[in-house]
Amino acid sequence: MSRPLVRPLTRLAYHDALARMRAFTAGRDAGTPDEIWLVEHPPVFTLGLATRPEHLLATGDIPVVQTERGGQVTYHGPGQALAYTLVDLRRHGLMVREFVRLIEQAVIEVLADLGLTAVRREGAPGVYLSAPDRGAGAKIASIGIKVSRGCTYHGVALNVAMDLEPFSRIDPCGYPGLAVTDLRSQLGPATLAMETVATLLGEKLADLIEGKA
C-alpha cells in the first residue's frame, strides 16, 4: 500500500497528539502503512529544536511545549488545520529536504485551488503568499518534522480561520515582525469550513506522496 491513509479531522490536545505520534512511530515496522492525521488543537505554542528564548515575547496564559521537531517557535490553535505526516521516507525514496518541498507543494496547490498564489522561500520552510494585493510575504503555513529511523512525524499547519493575535506574542518561526495570515483574512466569507480545507490538504499530501512510491 503506497498511498497514505488520511484520518478525518479530530480536535485533540497537543500533548495527546504528540504522545500518539511518538507511539505510532516507535511501534511501526517496514510493513506499517503510512498515515496522515488531520488535527485541530486548543491554543498552544510549540518549540522546535532551533528555538531561542528571545523569540518568546509574551506567551501569557497559553501553554508552551518543547518538541523534538525541526524549526523554531510557532502557534497552534482553533481554526488551524494540521496535517501530521507519518511517512516512511525509505518506502518512497524521499530525502528529508525533498519531503519538505513536497509538503510545501501540497499547500501551494491547495491554495491555488482556492484562488490564492503562494510560494516557498529558500532557507525558510513554509508557505507564503505572493500576490501583491493579497498580503504578499505573509506566512500562511508552517512546517516542522522529525525523522526517526527513516520515518517522519509532526508535519504542516495551515491557517484557515483563526485568532491570529497569539502570533504577535512570539517571533513566528524565529523571524521578528513576520506577518502571518489565514484563509479567512484572504477570502472573507468565501472561506471553506475547517473540515473541508483539512480534507483537501490531507488528500493532496496523500496524492503527492503516492506519486513518489
Q: How many CB atoms lie within 10 A of CB 95?
A: 9
- Helix extents (H) in the chain: 14-27, 89-92, 96-113, 183-187, 194-210
Q: What is the distance between the alpha carbons of residues 156 and 82, in angstroms, rounded to a whole number?
A: 6
pLDDT of residue 66: 96
pLDDT of residue 11: 97
Q: Which residues are annotated as a binding site for substrate?
A: 69-76, 142-144, 155-157
Q: Which one, of 158, 212, 206, 165, lies nearest residue 182 by Cα? A: 158
pLDDT of residue 123: 83
- pLDDT by residue for the chain (213 residues), tens only, comes to 589 999 999 999 999 999 999 999 999 999 999 999 999 999 999 999 999 999 999 999 999 999 999 999 999 999 999 999 999 999 999 999 999 999 999 999 999 999 999 999 888 899 999 866 566 789 999 999 999 999 999 999 999 999 999 999 999 999 898 999 999 999 998 889 999 999 999 999 999 999 876
Domain limits, the chain:
5-210
pLDDT of residue 186: 93
Q: What is the distance between the alpha carbons of residues 77 and 177, in angstroms, rounded to a whole number?
A: 20
Q: What is the pLDDT of residues 134-148, one digit of tens each?
A: 667 899 999 999 999
Q: What is the distance between the alpha carbons of residues 187 and 212, in angstroms, rounded to a whole number?
A: 32
pLDDT of residue 2: 84
Pick the CATH number of 5-210 from 3.20.20.80, 3.80.30.20, 2.60.40.1170, 3.30.930.10: 3.30.930.10
Using CB atoms within 10 A of its CB, is residue 23 exposed (0-12), middle (13-18) or buried (19+)? exposed
Q: What is the distance between the alpha carbons of residues 81 and 13, in angstroms, rounded to a whole number?
A: 13
Q: Which residues are annotated as a binding site?
A: 69-76, 142-144, 155-157
Q: What is the distance between the alpha carbons of residues 128 and 57, in angstroms, rounded to a whole number?
A: 23
Q: How many CB atoms lie within 10 A of CB 11?
A: 10
Q: Catalytic positions, please?
A: 173
The dihedral built from the CA positions of residue 85, 88, 94 and 96, taken in this order, carries a sign that is: positive
